[in-house]
Amino acid sequence: MAEEKKMAGFVCTGCGIGERLDAGQLETTATRDGKMNTCVQHEMLCSKEGVQVIRDTIDNDGATHIMIAACSRRAKVEAFHFPEVAMTRANLREGVIWVRPDTDENKETTQEMADDYIRMACAEAKFSTKPTKSGEQELDKTIMVVGGGITGMTAAMEAAAAGYPVHLVEKGGALGGRIAEYYKVLPTRSPYAAPQESSIAEMAAAIEADDKIAVHLNSTLAQTSGAPGRFSVDVATESGSTSNFTCGAIVQATGFTPYDANKLPEFGYDKSADVVTNHELEALAKAANGGPIKRPSDGKEITSVAFVQNAGQCSDEEGKLAYFSGVTDLVSIKQAMYFKELNGDCDTTVLFNNLRTPGAAGEDFYRAGQEAMVLFSKGIVSEVVPGDSLTVKFKDLILNEDTEMDCDLVVLAVGMEPNSGPDPYYATEGEGAPEPGEEANPNAVPEISVDSILNLDYRQGTDLPQLKYGFNDSHFICFPYETRRTGIYAAGPVRRPMDIQQARDDAAGATMKAIQAAENAGKGMAAHPRAGDLSYPSFRKEGCTQCKRCTVECPFGAINEDEKRYPLFNEARCRRCGTCMGACPVRVISFENYSIDTVGQQIKNVEIPEEWDEKPRILVLACENDAYPALDQAAMNGVEINPWARVIPVRCLGSVSLSWITDSLNNGYDGIVLMGCQRGEDYQCHFVRGSAMANERMSKVGDTLQTLNLEPERVVVHEVAITDIERAPKLINDMAETVEKIGMSPFKF
Amino acid sequence: MTEVIATNETILVVGGGISGMTAALEAAETGKKVVLVEKRPYVGGRVTQLYKYFPKLCHPTCGLEINQRRAKMNPNLTIITMAEVTDIKGEAGNYTATVKIAPRYINDNCTGCGDCGKAVEAEFDDEYNYGMGKRKGAYLPHRMAMPQQYVIDPAIIGTDDAQKAKDVCKVNAVDLDMQEETIEFNAGAVVWATGWQPYDANKIQPYGYDRFENVITSVEFERLADPTGPTGGKILRPSDGKEVKNVAFIQCAGSRDKNHLLHCSRICCMASLKQCTYPADDVDISVYYIDIRAIDRFEDFYQKVKAQENVSFIKSKVASIVKGEDDSPVLHGVDTEGYNRYANQHDLVVLAVGMEPSVDKESFPVDIVINEEGFIEPASENGGIFAAGCSSDALDVNRAVQHATGAALRAVQVINRVAGTEG
Amino acid sequence: MSTNSQKYRNSFLKEVEANVEEGEWVKMCMQCGVCAGSCPLGKHWDHPPQEIFMMIRAGKRDEVLTSDSMWMCTSCYNCIARCPRGLPITHIMHGLAVYSKRLGLMPDNQPTAEFGQIFWDNLMKKGRVNELKMGLSMYFKDGFSQGIKNAMANQKLGQNMMKAKRMNAMEIMGGHGVKSPGDLAKIIKKAQEIEDGNIQDFS
């Protein structure tokens, strides 16, 4: 480090800190043990005056590293905003005085706690540097949109309208996608009363005329490399020619494929031409050219139609879709209205179980269908018997009887299957994943292997990871555009089944995120959830053993391997969770302000009392996203936490290095509690796999404990939710009890 | 005096619930200046009052923590709480907004230490818990409230209580002379994200919400199930505090009904299915429904709840509720699957109340297209004003956030046009 | 008899739309059942309103028109007040009853139908209802000895009504009427002609 470190400490005595603790002692600890060049007290550090004191120290005294001992790092964030220096915070309020009873007998241990937090924050500061841009940044404002259907076209137009150039890549020979084959679409504006013409032709014309949008037809992606802000894309056309362009971010809008009705023999799709899917009906209606819709088998004008809802959907049977395709009930109503419009007196009956027409538009359209005299029956169809007239056998649930009806045509409301590429994690966490206890089969391939869409040259696979049923969706309720491949956002029915209006809104949302990713990549800032973070993992090549753990474990596929098989970090793909740091067995990966040392030195700087003092030490590594806020809230509620505990927030449990655990045990800590987010199918880990990774790594801690001859109960991993306000402190206190039971660690020096 | 630095390149976001926060953050994280105006004393909106989200059964505060952190870290975002937009004039790219800010009587010095709350004696119905339970006259609206600052109820201003709050505050955060203020500032585009309110269950006369203590609403049930709620997470009967052993959910309480809300509120089916997972396994649960609207992958969750042995589904819109023995509500109606008449007694009845848009159709500050149901239409006539989330339709959280992200882009487009950065 | 070709088709629904008062609302029912649950006489119905609507859609013409159910309606209007789709259910029930009577499909000895007929016949005599005769006609509709029994059972009620001047014994002599019953008859006849003219033949 060229620049000389100048370290300044600040101790706040407000909010009762001054009354409960010996602030003079804290100051001494900061300067004597914490090696702060200066340390001052202030009665209210977050006040204007207090902040000014800090500001002056930075501006006038040239402080480069500051340690603020006050409240939790989650509080007064706006006041303590000094991005020009390395800053750490010692949590004396929520971390100490609010979790300890205000009694004389506790005074000593409470003060010890506070002193330790000061030492920890000082050590952290000492080993931190202020995050700065790496210089790797590039800003390419171009957005690539993959897929030229309504979602992709919308995304392209929205991006262009925001001033961003677009490359729109479409596999087929024309824009428009499936909608181009539709007779009409659902209404998009009130009153939601009748099917309307789609605007696809005008959109295609507008795109054609927009000089911001370059359209690549008959084109696929041969390779996509790079990172947000500097993607490089090789496009191959059907004719064999290739071209290359660059872009800053990507929207994948590859749409869906209708479910194959041949898998539904019970509905006679393979036996009768007059059993059609909802998608085929669109073609029939379009072919009618304004006249009556004709029967495929004999060209006879259709006078009666039955719609079989949820054909091959909402089913737990093998080969059928388990989910509901979102829009198929509305589509059947729309199509029944086609017949009312084109075939005059045609009877249309919709056989449904639960009619799912949500929202204002949905319910309005349902009523409009009824008004148009579309018949609705809550009936479960068991069979369609082919013949000159088709017989539909079903159970009418209202009249509670098995019955049947005849009609000229049967429309099967089949669902949508996403056009996603192969799942990079098929063998480890997708459908090819092993049962618990089984080893993952790295060679497992999806039964029906699909072509890659993006052809990413990422170490971790060619395409976006899938959530479930092949959809490239986010797992987060609050963050639908969370992506596991930074800068690449799925939109439309490849993300989740949806109707046109939703797909268009979704295209706008995904485009927003793509624009944002490109812009932030240009500034060297992280994407969600550590948005704006400038810190970035650097790695010491000399120490690397090429074990590949970091490249394999990165939840975002951010790390490639270079030609010499060293990890190749891609800043703009990185989400700054530190899972690579936790993975690295030789500790060569670190961030400026979050490293093996910034945490390791905190652990080392806690004073470990001699065994006979009977003051154990419990290390708590708490995920800053959920566990740490839970502890903060517990403090607000005045829930007591054992005085032996020393809590260190971590970016993600996935960033926890085993070395911290072994060092702590060697240094005489008596117990270690790790708190991360929920893992597994319904994971809550904000970095997707961090918590799961940590759990896997910690399962190997047993060996270390055995070597040290320590009891396995000394290290525990817990899933903690942000609402675990009572439970989180209890888990710590439980460890204190465990230590009391099994005795102190013999490793105290 | 609240100062807002804003120009024609600023985006005004009205409403700080999950949709408004999302729109504001997405725009701010793209480098745009954003002013967020929120009526309540804190951001986060209605989702802060939910215990869990469907279908993951995860906690809304988890995402709230992330969003609040994003907000705290982002210098592009200005948040004004306890404020309402009273007027908007102008056109896309050049609006002037008038905002009325109610006095909090607490300034930014507040450290959230809680001394004033302890000192004040007066108690009020706690709106955070929908009136179940009390809060003090000086209060932190909820534990994770952002800003983490107390509020003084205007009702105690001028009383000894207010003085006590002032006297006890060591950081000089209590300002009893604070006045309502009205400010004006510029904006190039507006994102309207005023969200929704639970339909007033008192209006559904046959269900006797106003007459029977053990008939509650779905939003109240969330508070009962929440460990930080008024019962500490125990599902107890309001009438006698006894543990509930038999609970009924009535779907479409106010929705899909021309006497109440014409639209389907979309979320209530899933919300009730979620709430079916709150009570213990030995609690009998009945869901009275017209159609279970489990959209897309939510079907999984529906199947999971259906498989719960303690849950049964009855296809019926309940006709009426009468008071049975022990204050237990008795539901009358007909199961329409095969015509079975019932009179079922339950310990507790939860009305899955609909989503009423919080869009004031009568006095919307600017000319805008609002549909029959009260939602803002995606109309080009709306100029630079874009609805986000539940002011556009009844939406679940995931879809609201999705919609709000798109709304942010539309606002950004206007700003970029103004800034002339296009081309 | 309904064949497959009529089931779940619009034929009967269209007949109801054409010939039954407010019949055009039947298609709007969404089978929530709040009408069935709200009916104070509900348990006496073989088929509650929403089920009748479903039967109409299913094409169960005979079953609907010969049903006893719609005759059970007492016009309390609970169903109309609560129907989320705003169906005028009371009116539809009466409409269906009237239509079934017109077609002669109503069940035999249906008391409401009999009462209606007696009321109508009574009314048409003088243009006003003769309550005494009306009561007596009801008592004696099932024969003389049953009539005496009915009269004895309700003796006290009758006396009280007379005391309260709610009924006049002199009405037995013929009672009061409109000024020109003949003109009334003409009006009714014309109205019936119009109504008959509107009826479409679906048989």
**Residue C69: which CATH number?**
1.10.1060.10
Query: How sure is the predictor about A448, in pLDDT bands with cuts at 50, 70 and 90?
Result: low
Q: Are residues C102 and C119 in the same domain?
A: no
Q: Which tokens sit at B10?
A: 């600023």
Separation between Cα atoms, residue B21 and residue B70, nearest integer Å: 10
* C170, pLDDT greater than 90: no
Q: Are residues C95 and C122 in the same domain?
A: no
Question: What is the per-residue pLDDT across B333-349, written as a single tens digit (0 to 9) for each?
Answer: 999 999 999 999 999 99
Q: Are residues C101 and C116 in the same domain?
A: no
Q: Are residues C86 and C123 in the same domain?
A: no
| pLDDT of amino acid A435 | 65
Q: Which tokens sit at B347?
A: 């310990």
* C1, pLDDT greater than 50: no
Q: Does C93 touch chain B (CB under 8 A)?
A: no
> Is A654 in contact with A578 (CB distance < 8 Å)?
yes
User: Nearest to residue A297, comparing CAs of A275, A315, A328, A280?
Assistant: A275
Question: What is the per-residue pLDDT across B71-89, written as a single tens digit (0 to 9) for each?
Answer: 999 999 999 999 999 999 9
Contacts of A655 (CB under 8 A, 6+ apart): A577, A578, A579, A581, A582, A594, A690
Query: Which of B313, B339, B340, B344 is best to mutate for the C interface (most C CBs within 10 A)?
Result: B339
Task: Give me the half-sphere count of Cα atoms (radius 13 Å) on the Cβ side of residue A390.
Answer: 31
> Are A260-416 and A608-749 the same fold in CATH?
no
In a domain, C202, yes or no: no
Separation between Cα atoms, residue C157 and residue C155, nearest integer Å: 5
Amino acid present at A369: G
How many CB atoms lie under 10 A from the CB of residue B217? 21
Query: Which of C34, C53, C72, C89 is best to mutate for the B interface (most B CBs within 10 A)?
Result: C34
- Please give the backbone phi and psi of residue C108, each rounded to the nearest 5 degrees, phi first: -65, 150
* C131, pLDDT greater than 90: no
DSSP class per residue in A508-555:
HHHHHHHHHHHHHHHHTPPPTTSTT-----EE-GGG-----HHHHH-T
Q: Chain C partners of B257 at a C-beta cutoff of 8 Å?
A: 84
Q: Are residues C96 and C25 in the same domain?
A: yes
Separation between Cα atoms, residue A211 and residue B235, nearest integer Å: 61
> Is A608 in contact with A617 (CB distance < 8 Å)?
yes
| pLDDT of amino acid A442 | 61
Which residue in the set B256, B332, B333 is minimally distant from C84, CB to CB?
B256
Q: Chain B partners of A190 at a C-beta cutoff of 8 Å?
A: 371-372, 377
Amino acid present at A338: Y
- What is the CATH code for A538-580? 3.30.70.20
Q: Please name the residue of chain B whose CA is at the shortest distance from the CA of residue A49.
A: B109
Query: Which of A329, A371, A406, A410 is best to mutate for the C interface (most C CBs within 10 A)?
Result: A406
Place of tokens 């049903």: C67
User: What Cα–Cα distance (Å) separates residue B128 from each residue in B47, B134, B203, C49?
Assistant: 11, 9, 22, 43
CB contact under 8 A, A400 and B31: no
Least confident of A431-435, B185-189, B197-201: A431-435
Find the length of chain A.
749
Calculate Rg over the CA atoms of chain A. 31
Q: Which of residues 635-694 of A touch B (CB under 8 A)?
A: 636-637, 677-678, 682, 684, 686
How many CB atoms lie under 10 A from the CB of residue A266? 13
Check if the interface score ipTM surpasses 0.90. yes
**Shortest Cα distance from B257 to chain C (angstroms)?**
4
* A432, pLDDT greater than 80: no
Question: What is the per-residue pLDDT across A101-152, written as a single tens digit (0 to 9) for each?
Answer: 999 999 999 999 999 999 999 999 999 999 888 777 778 999 999 999 999 9
Name the helix (H) or strand (E) containing A649: strand A645-650
Q: Is the sign of the CA dihedral C104, C110, C116, C120 positive or negative?
A: positive
Q: Can you tell me the mean pLDDT for B370-388? A: 96
> Is A608 in contact with A668 (CB distance < 8 Å)?
yes
Q: Are residues C35 and C122 in the same domain?
A: no
Amino acid present at A715: V
Q: Which of residues 67-126 of C touch A (CB under 8 A)?
A: 85
Contacts of A512 (CB under 8 A, 6+ apart): A481, B26, B30, B405, B406, B408, B409, B412
DSSP class of A466 = P
Question: What is the per-residue pLDDT across C174-199, written as a single tens digit (0 to 9) for each?
Answer: 778 888 889 999 999 999 999 999 99
**Domain edge (last residue) among C107, C122, C156:** C107
Q: Which tokens sit at A478?
A: 């609050």
CB contact under 8 A, C37 and B319: yes
Mean pLDDT of chain B: 96
Cα A499–chain centre separation: 23
Contacts of A640 (CB under 8 A, 6+ apart): A99, A100, A101, A729, A733
| pLDDT of amino acid A3 | 64
Question: What is the per-residue pLDDT across A222-238, written as a single tens digit (0 to 9) for each?
Answer: 999 999 999 999 999 98
Q: Are residues C63 and C125 in the same domain?
A: no
Q: Chain B partners of C36 at a C-beta cutoff of 8 Å?
A: 319, 333-334, 336, 339, 341
Domain boundaries, chain A: 1-130, 143-255+419-523, 260-416, 538-580, 608-749
Q: Are residues C100 and C181 in the same domain?
A: no
DSSP class per residue in B240-251:
T-PBPSEEEEEE
> Is C74 in contact with C89 (CB distance < 8 Å)?
no
Q: Are residues C129 and C95 in the same domain?
A: no
Which residue in the set A349, A373, A399 is minimally distant from C54, CB to CB?
A399
**Domain edge (last residue) among C69, C90, C107:** C107
A202 SS3 class: helix
User: Nearest to residue A710, comparing CAs of A673, A745, A681?
Assistant: A745
Cα C128–chain centre separation: 19
Separation between Cα atoms, residue A433 and residue B101, nearest integer Å: 55
Q: Are residues C69 and C115 in the same domain?
A: no
Query: How sure is the predictor about A627, in pLDDT bands with cuts at 50, 70 and 90?
Result: very high
In a domain, C201, yes or no: no
| pLDDT of amino acid A1 | 44
Q: Which tokens sit at C92?
A: 């539809």
Question: What is the per-residue pLDDT across A29-69, written as a single tens digit (0 to 9) for each?
Answer: 999 999 999 999 999 999 999 999 999 999 999 999 999 99
> Is B130 in contact with B230 (CB distance < 8 Å)?
no
Place of tokens 């004004």: B80
- Please give the backbone phi and psi of residue A518, each rounded to the nearest 5 degrees, phi first: -65, -45
| pLDDT of amino acid A428 | 77
Place of tokens 């009539």: C147
Task: Give me the half-sphere count of Cα atoms (radius 13 Å) on the Cβ side of residue A533.
Answer: 24
User: What Cα–Cα distance (Å) separates residue A736 from each residue in A616, A646, C4?
Assistant: 8, 12, 76
Q: Which tokens sit at A87?
A: 């800053």
| pLDDT of amino acid C159 | 87
Q: Can you tell me the mean pLDDT for A296-316? A: 96
* A283, pLDDT greater than 50: yes
CB contact under 8 A, C34 and B318: yes
* A447, pLDDT greater than 80: no
Query: How sure is the predictor about A437, in pLDDT bands with cuts at 50, 70 and 90?
Result: low
Question: What is the per-residue pLDDT across B23-60, written as a single tens digit (0 to 9) for each?
Answer: 999 999 999 999 999 999 999 999 999 999 999 999 99
CATH architecture group of domain A608-749: 3-Layer(aba) Sandwich (3.40)
**Shortest Cα distance from C4 to chain A (angstroms)?**
5
Give all domains of chain B, ordered by start, each with its CATH number.
10-102+180-195+358-419 (3.50.50.60), 115-168 (no CATH), 199-355 (3.50.50.60)
Q: Are residues C115 and C139 in the same domain?
A: yes
Q: Can you tell me the mean pLDDT for A274-295? A: 96
Task: Give me the half-sphere count of Cα atoms (radius 13 Å) on the Cβ side of residue B289.
Answer: 24
Query: How sure is the predictor about B422, in pLDDT bands with cuts at 50, 70 and 90?
Result: very low
What angle in degrees, to the nearest 10, is found between the helix axes of B298-306 and B267-275?
40
Mean pLDDT of chain C: 91
How many CB atoms lie under 10 A from the CB of residue B227? 14
Least confident of A420-434, A634-648, B325-339: A420-434
Contacts of B93 (CB under 8 A, 6+ apart): B8, B188, B189, B384, B414, B417, B418
Which residue in the set A47, A358, A478 is minimally distant from B171, CB to CB?
A47
Q: Are residues C129 and C186 in the same domain?
A: yes
CATH superfamily of A143-255+419-523: FAD/NAD(P)-binding domain (3.50.50.60)
CATH superfamily of A260-416: FAD/NAD(P)-binding domain (3.50.50.60)
A618 SS3 class: strand
* A19, pLDDT greater than 60: yes
Question: What is the per-residue pLDDT across A689-709, written as a single tens digit (0 to 9) for each?
Answer: 999 999 999 888 888 898 889
Tell the CATH topology of A1-130: Rossmann fold (3.40.50)
Q: Does C37 touch chain B (CB under 8 A)?
A: yes
Contacts of A221 (CB under 8 A, 6+ apart): A146, A169, A233, A234, A235, A236, A453, A454, A455
CB contact under 8 A, B65 and A637: no
A98 SS3 class: coil
Separation between Cα atoms, residue A475 and residue A667, nearest integer Å: 40
| pLDDT of amino acid A446 | 66
Domain around C179: 111-196
